[in-house]
Chain A
């Protein structure tokens, strides 16, 4: 099984500042020039919401302050200018093959 390791577990960022979350997979999720890696945002009491797929493609309607990068085994989610509504948990996930696995999650708060 592919193990997804996220860091940090939590971070506090000032409004308007950059937030960076890392995700590392135990084996490459790259195939046919596509990285099978997604990022999700989950707010309390709500289901997760897809932010990014193919590691760097923003889902329709997602603000452009969210961006994804990386390839192979190392990936990053960046929130370029943190807004109050971005307070949430963030999860990476591979969909390279079954079993799908998620990272442990990162809690983003306002400093």
Chain B
């Protein structure tokens, strides 16, 4: 059974940094696209970024709204995905989901971790 478990969320001041993690199990880690998707309170879904499959060298890409501030990485030895968030702004507040799938859609989702950016 596939499991994605996010951790590391919390309260951070504007301009601060935070790293959140996603531990994956139940599937071949290198065969899935791994994405971060966020949801601001009461709002819709926003794609944050992607780590492509091993066959694509685990290359990464982030949305324009976070480019230059957020970095995605993947540790194959730990079956884990990470999102390093720097220069956080209040509009980065929301639930951050880890999502994965073999074809690019989000077949599997974690329960999410809440990131609150506030002074």
Contacts and interface: CB of A to CB of B under 8 A. Distances in A.
A99 B104 contact: no
Residues of A in contact with B, size category: 20 to 34
Contact of A105 (B44, B47, B97, B112): B44
Given A38-B105, A50-B105, A93-B106, A100 B35 contact: yes
Given A38-B106, A98-B61, A100-B35, A47 B44 contact: no
A81 B97 CA distance: 30
A65 interface: no
Interface in A33-82: 36, 38, 40, 42, 47-50, 53, 59
B107 A59 contact: yes
A89 to B, nearest CB: 8
Interface of B: 35, 37, 44-47, 50, 61, 63-64, 97, 99, 101, 103-112
5 contacts: A36-B105, A48-B45, A53-B105, A93-B106, A102-B47
